[in-house]
Amino acid sequence: MIFQLLSGFMSAKASREAGRARQDAANMDAFNTETEREQGEVFAMQQAAARRAEFDSATEANIAMFSVGRDIGSDRSVEAFLNKQKEIAATDLGRLDNQRRAEASARTREAMALRRGGRVARRASLLKATGTIFNTFSDASKTAANGGTR
């Protein structure tokens, strides 16, 4: 009977430890997903800064070119052209921002699901361990009732 109890407790402990290990692994996965999200955000910000710098440089070059021999302050066609260029660059920046937000949101939800999975695995392992202990006691009491023969 002592072996019966010992093996039962060992099994319960192993279940508990397995649940803890699964939760640790899930937490690590969630942490990595969040790090990935932050990296993605930094990457998107870098892309936006590069796009803005490119637009600024192009605008400066265009203004320098248009200002040769004409008053660009009163030239409506130059103004319309520059506004159109600004609109195109702004659309790109807006899209970059939307993409960044969508990806960050997806990664956040992913990390949440991973953490939840870890918590559930832990809870399931505790339930399993409780069941194992209960069954062990039940079997042991039966064995004891039969005089330790069965």
Partner 1 sequence: MAVIRQKTQVFNKPVGVRRINTGEAEMWEQISQQADQLTARAFEAAANNARTVGEETA
Where along the sequence are the contacts to partner 1 (CB under 8 A)?
47, 51, 55, 58, 61-62, 65-66, 81, 84-85, 88-89, 91-93, 95-96, 98-99, 102-103, 105-106, 109-110, 113-114, 116-117, 120-121, 123-124, 127-128, 131, 134-135, 138
Query: Least separation, in Å, of the C-beta of 3 and partner 1?
Result: 21
CB of 10 to partner 1, least distance (A): 19
Which secondary-structure segment (H or E) carries 75? none
Q: Decide: 24 and 114 in contact? Cβ < 8 Å.
A: no
Least Å distance between CB 149 and partner 1? 16
Of the two residues 9 and 104, which places its CB atom closer to partner 1 in the complex?
104
- Residue 11: CB minimum distance to partner 1, A: 14
Q: Which of 9/113 has CB closer to partner 1? A: 113
Q: Give the chain's radius of gyration (CA, Å).
A: 33
Quote the CA–CA distance of 66 and 81 in Å, as a whole number.
11
Q: Residue 19 in contact with residue 122, Cβ under 8 Å?
A: yes
Structure tokens at 121: 């695995």
Cβ proximity to partner 1, 7 vs 141, nearer residue: 141
**What is the rounded CA–CA span in Å between residue 99 and residue 122?**
35
Hunting for tokens 């790090």 — which residue is that? Answer: 35
